[in-house]
Protein backbone atom coordinates (compact mmCIF):
# COMPACT_ATOMS: atom_id res chain seq x y z
CA UNK A 1 0.00 0.00 0.00
CA UNK A 2 1.09 3.53 -0.74
CA UNK A 3 1.16 6.35 1.80
CA UNK A 4 -0.45 9.21 -0.14
CA UNK A 5 0.27 11.75 2.59
CA UNK A 6 3.93 11.84 1.55
CA UNK A 7 3.36 12.12 -2.19
CA UNK A 8 3.20 15.87 -2.69
CA UNK A 9 0.41 18.37 -2.22
CA UNK A 10 -3.26 17.63 -2.65
CA UNK A 11 -3.24 19.35 -6.04
CA UNK A 12 -0.29 17.23 -7.22
CA UNK A 13 -1.87 13.96 -6.03
CA UNK A 14 -5.09 14.51 -7.94
CA UNK A 15 -3.49 16.27 -10.91
CA UNK A 16 -5.37 19.54 -10.42
CA UNK A 17 -3.83 22.75 -11.62
CA UNK A 18 -5.34 26.16 -10.84
CA UNK A 19 -5.27 27.15 -14.51
CA UNK A 20 -7.34 30.17 -15.30
CA UNK A 21 -10.05 30.34 -17.94
CA UNK A 22 -7.61 32.24 -20.14
CA UNK A 23 -5.50 29.09 -20.31
CA UNK A 24 -2.57 30.80 -18.62
CA UNK A 25 -1.55 29.96 -15.08
CA UNK A 26 0.40 32.28 -12.78
CA UNK A 27 4.10 31.70 -12.45
CA UNK A 28 4.92 29.21 -9.71
CA UNK A 29 6.65 30.76 -6.70
CA UNK A 30 9.91 29.00 -7.60
CA UNK A 31 10.03 30.83 -10.97
CA UNK A 32 9.00 34.29 -9.83
CA UNK A 33 11.66 37.00 -9.90
CA UNK A 34 9.43 39.41 -8.01
CA UNK A 35 7.10 39.63 -5.04
CA UNK A 36 3.36 39.51 -5.49
CA UNK A 37 2.09 41.56 -2.60
CA UNK A 38 -0.27 42.62 -4.31
CA UNK A 39 1.59 43.79 -7.46
CA UNK A 40 0.63 42.14 -10.75
CA UNK A 41 2.35 39.01 -12.03
CA UNK A 42 3.09 39.66 -15.65
CA UNK A 43 3.83 36.76 -17.94
CA UNK A 44 3.91 36.24 -21.67
CA UNK A 45 1.97 33.52 -23.41
CA UNK A 46 5.15 31.47 -23.21
CA UNK A 47 5.23 31.90 -19.43
CA UNK A 48 8.22 34.24 -19.17
CA UNK A 49 8.42 37.37 -17.04
CA UNK A 50 7.72 40.63 -18.85
CA UNK A 51 8.98 44.00 -17.52
CA UNK A 52 6.16 46.38 -16.45
CA UNK A 53 6.79 48.78 -19.35
CA UNK A 54 5.84 46.07 -21.82
CA UNK A 55 2.86 44.85 -19.81
CA UNK A 56 0.30 46.44 -22.13
CA UNK A 57 1.25 44.00 -24.88
CA UNK A 58 0.96 40.78 -22.91
CA UNK A 59 -1.65 38.84 -21.01
CA UNK A 60 -1.64 39.92 -17.37
CA UNK A 61 -2.77 37.83 -14.47
CA UNK A 62 -3.06 40.07 -11.43
CA UNK A 63 -2.64 39.19 -7.79
CA UNK A 64 -5.53 41.51 -7.10
CA UNK A 65 -7.45 44.11 -8.98
CA UNK A 66 -4.38 46.32 -8.95
CA UNK A 67 -2.21 47.79 -6.24
CA UNK A 68 -4.27 47.87 -3.05
CA UNK A 69 -7.19 46.64 -5.17
CA UNK A 70 -10.48 45.69 -3.60
CA UNK A 71 -9.97 41.99 -4.36
CA UNK A 72 -6.33 41.80 -3.26
CA UNK A 73 -7.11 40.25 0.13
CA UNK A 74 -9.04 37.40 -1.47
CA UNK A 75 -6.46 36.47 -4.10
CA UNK A 76 -4.27 33.44 -3.52
CA UNK A 77 -4.15 29.68 -3.23
CA UNK A 78 -6.10 28.43 -0.19
CA UNK A 79 -6.11 24.95 1.34
CA UNK A 80 -8.14 23.22 4.06
CA UNK A 81 -6.67 19.87 4.98
CA UNK A 82 -5.35 17.41 2.45
CA UNK A 83 -8.47 17.23 0.27
CA UNK A 84 -9.78 20.78 -0.25
CA UNK A 85 -8.28 23.65 -2.28
CA UNK A 86 -9.60 26.96 -3.58
CA UNK A 87 -7.76 29.27 -5.98
CA UNK A 88 -8.85 32.90 -6.23
CA UNK A 89 -7.40 35.18 -8.90
CA UNK A 90 -8.29 38.43 -10.61
CA UNK A 91 -11.33 38.02 -12.82
CA UNK A 92 -11.73 39.15 -16.41
CA UNK A 93 -13.40 42.43 -15.33
CA UNK A 94 -11.83 45.08 -13.07
CA UNK A 95 -12.54 44.27 -9.43
CA UNK A 96 -13.85 40.82 -10.34
CA UNK A 97 -12.58 37.48 -9.11
CA UNK A 98 -12.18 34.06 -10.66
CA UNK A 99 -12.92 31.51 -7.92
CA UNK A 100 -12.02 27.86 -8.53
CA UNK A 101 -12.28 24.98 -6.12
CA UNK A 102 -11.55 21.28 -5.99
CA UNK A 103 -12.42 18.88 -3.18
CA UNK A 104 -12.32 15.14 -2.75
CA UNK A 105 -13.33 12.51 -0.25
CA UNK A 106 -11.12 9.46 0.09
CA UNK A 107 -7.77 10.39 -1.47
CA UNK A 108 -5.98 10.03 1.87
CA UNK A 109 -7.27 6.46 2.33
CA UNK A 110 -5.08 4.04 0.34
CA UNK A 111 -7.77 1.34 0.43
CA UNK A 112 -10.43 3.67 -1.02
CA UNK A 113 -7.93 4.88 -3.61
CA UNK A 114 -7.02 1.35 -4.68
CA UNK A 115 -10.73 0.54 -5.16
CA UNK A 116 -11.30 3.73 -7.15
CA UNK A 117 -13.74 4.86 -4.48
CA UNK A 118 -12.75 8.52 -4.35
CA UNK A 119 -15.49 11.13 -4.69
CA UNK A 120 -14.83 14.55 -6.20
CA UNK A 121 -16.32 18.00 -6.52
CA UNK A 122 -15.17 21.14 -8.31
CA UNK A 123 -16.36 24.55 -9.39
CA UNK A 124 -15.14 27.55 -11.35
CA UNK A 125 -17.07 30.82 -11.32
CA UNK A 126 -16.49 34.49 -12.00
CA UNK A 127 -17.57 36.85 -9.22
CA UNK A 128 -18.36 40.21 -10.84
CA UNK A 129 -16.80 42.52 -8.29
CA UNK A 130 -15.78 43.10 -4.71
CA UNK A 131 -15.46 46.30 -2.73
CA UNK A 132 -12.50 46.95 -0.47
CA UNK A 133 -14.59 46.30 2.66
CA UNK A 134 -16.24 43.09 1.40
CA UNK A 135 -15.47 40.24 3.78
CA UNK A 136 -18.08 37.79 2.54
CA UNK A 137 -19.02 36.41 -0.86
CA UNK A 138 -22.03 34.12 -1.19
CA UNK A 139 -23.34 32.55 -4.36
CA UNK A 140 -25.19 29.62 -5.88
CA UNK A 141 -23.74 27.84 -8.89
CA UNK A 142 -26.30 27.27 -11.63
CA UNK A 143 -25.41 26.41 -15.23
CA UNK A 144 -21.70 26.89 -14.40
CA UNK A 145 -22.12 30.51 -13.29
CA UNK A 146 -22.53 32.34 -10.01
CA UNK A 147 -26.03 33.60 -9.22
CA UNK A 148 -27.61 35.10 -6.12
CA UNK A 149 -27.15 32.85 -3.06
CA UNK A 150 -30.91 32.48 -2.46
CA UNK A 151 -31.67 31.69 -6.11
CA UNK A 152 -31.42 28.45 -8.01
CA UNK A 153 -32.75 24.96 -7.49
CA UNK A 154 -32.75 22.94 -4.26
CA UNK A 155 -29.77 20.78 -5.25
CA UNK A 156 -27.58 23.53 -6.74
CA UNK A 157 -24.23 24.08 -5.04
CA UNK A 158 -24.28 27.06 -2.63
CA UNK A 159 -21.09 28.55 -1.17
CA UNK A 160 -20.46 31.26 1.40
CA UNK A 161 -16.84 32.47 1.67
CA UNK A 162 -15.81 34.70 4.58
CA UNK A 163 -12.41 36.38 4.69
CA UNK A 164 -10.86 37.37 8.00
CA UNK A 165 -7.96 36.93 10.38
CA UNK A 166 -5.62 35.67 7.67
CA UNK A 167 -7.86 32.74 6.76
CA UNK A 168 -10.84 31.95 4.55
CA UNK A 169 -13.90 30.27 6.08
CA UNK A 170 -16.07 28.39 3.61
CA UNK A 171 -19.51 26.92 4.13
CA UNK A 172 -21.43 24.93 1.53
CA UNK A 173 -24.78 23.12 1.40
CA UNK A 174 -23.28 19.64 0.81
CA UNK A 175 -24.40 19.76 -2.84
CA UNK A 176 -21.04 20.71 -4.37
CA UNK A 177 -19.70 17.27 -5.22
CA UNK A 178 -20.02 13.55 -4.76
CA UNK A 179 -20.99 11.72 -1.57
CA UNK A 180 -19.23 13.17 1.52
CA UNK A 181 -17.49 15.87 -0.56
CA UNK A 182 -17.66 19.31 0.99
CA UNK A 183 -15.83 22.61 0.70
CA UNK A 184 -16.84 23.56 4.25
CA UNK A 185 -13.83 24.37 6.42
CA UNK A 186 -11.19 26.90 7.40
CA UNK A 187 -8.65 27.53 4.65
CA UNK A 188 -5.10 28.83 5.06
CA UNK A 189 -3.33 30.71 2.28
CA UNK A 190 -0.62 28.51 0.76
CA UNK A 191 0.52 30.95 -1.92
CA UNK A 192 -0.29 34.61 -2.56
Average predicted confidence (pLDDT) for the chain:
74
Question: For the chain, how many structural domains are there in total?
Answer: 1
pLDDT band at 132 (very low <50, low <70, confident <90, very high): confident
> What value does the mean pLDDT take over residues 51-62?
34
What pLDDT is recorded for position 69?
60
Domain that holds residue 130: 4-191
CB-CB contact of 144 with 152 (8 Å): no
Is the predicted pLDDT of residue 32 greater than 60, yes or no? no
What pLDDT is recorded for position 137?
94
If we measure between CA atoms, which residue out of 119, 93, 100 comes closest to residue 14?
119
**CA 88 from centroid of its chain's CA atoms:** 4
Amino acid sequence: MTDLSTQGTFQQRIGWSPRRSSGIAPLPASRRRFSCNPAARMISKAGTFIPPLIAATVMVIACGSGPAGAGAGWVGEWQSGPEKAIAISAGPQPGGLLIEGNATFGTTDPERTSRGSVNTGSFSVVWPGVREDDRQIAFTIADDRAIDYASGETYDCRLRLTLGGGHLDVEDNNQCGGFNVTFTGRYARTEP
